[in-house]
Structure 1
Amino acid sequence: MSINGIDRSQITAMMAQIRAAAAKMEGVQQPVRSAVSPAETPKIDFAEALKASLDQVNNAQSASKKLGEQFALGDDRVSLSDVMISAQKASISFQTTVQVRNKLVSAYHDIMNMQI
């Protein structure tokens, strides 16, 4: 069945991926299921998922800074390529977080401007 040009199986697969990512953030590996009834769907706390995501971004930035400092101090175990890759990973994760924030703010404004 197609909903606005999107196949229902694609939506179901995307929801399974989102559930798996949320479970991974909580530290619990669950198998990816293609069809989950609403009664079986685990409740995900938005605040905890957001905090876990922000903690991952913070950890990536801290690791990048630490590698940069080690390289600057002349540590032979750290190469320039490691420093640059770490910096790019931190940058991409930060940019992704900013884009998610922008989408959330936009959705909030759309909801607040709805007519009742």
Structure 2
Amino acid sequence: MKIQNTSLYQEMQSMASQAGRIEPQVKQPMDATAATSSAQFGDILKGALNNVADLQRDAKAKVTAVEMGDRSVSLAEAMIAKNKSSVAFEATVQVRNKLVEAYKDIMSMPV
């Protein structure tokens, strides 16, 4: 059984939009995404790291609110925020590991 990545991704997006969580995104042509420069990669990486930092700050604030007895934040919200930040951080660590591995492979190539 062979699964096409693009069709699976499109199906997941349509299911998420039906659930009302996100709006469907307009598909960009492949030529526009293929011409990615290092400046754009840096911006994307910086944005992703800022997103992880924001998730961690939000989780910390919610956990602190629950610990202080704030009734506007439920325990479930705090646990979900904490798990989201944990998953985002683990994904960031895995991306970093892959980048370091790729760098080491490139540096060990003979010239």
Please say if 1:59 is aligned against 2:54: yes
Query: Could you tell me how far apart the structure 1 residues matched to 2:102 and 2:94 are?
Result: 12
Cα distance in 2 between the residues matched to 1:30 and 1:64: 27
Instruction: State, as a whole percentage, how many aligned pairs show the same letter.
Output: 39
Letter in 1 for 2:71: D
Match of 1:106 in 2: 101
- Any residues of structure 2 matched to 1:44-83 within 5 Å, and which? 45-83=40-78
Cα distance between partner residues in 1 of 2:69 and 2:43:
39
| Root mean square deviation of aligned Cα | 2.7
Q: TM-score, normalised by structure 1?
A: 0.68
Unpaired runs of at least 5, structure 2: 11-23
Structure 1 unpaired stretches of 5+: 1-5, 18-28
Q: Which residue of 2 aligns with 1:88?
A: 83
Q: Which runs of 4+ in 1 moved over 4 A?
A: none
Q: CA deviation at 1:77?
A: 1.1
For these two proteins, the number of residue pairs brought into alignment is 93
Deviation at 1:30, TM superposition (A): 6.1
CA–CA separation in structure 1 for the residues paired with 2:57 and 2:94: 20
The structure carrying a bigger helix percent of its residues is 2
- d(CA) in 2 for partners of 1:69 and 1:43? 40
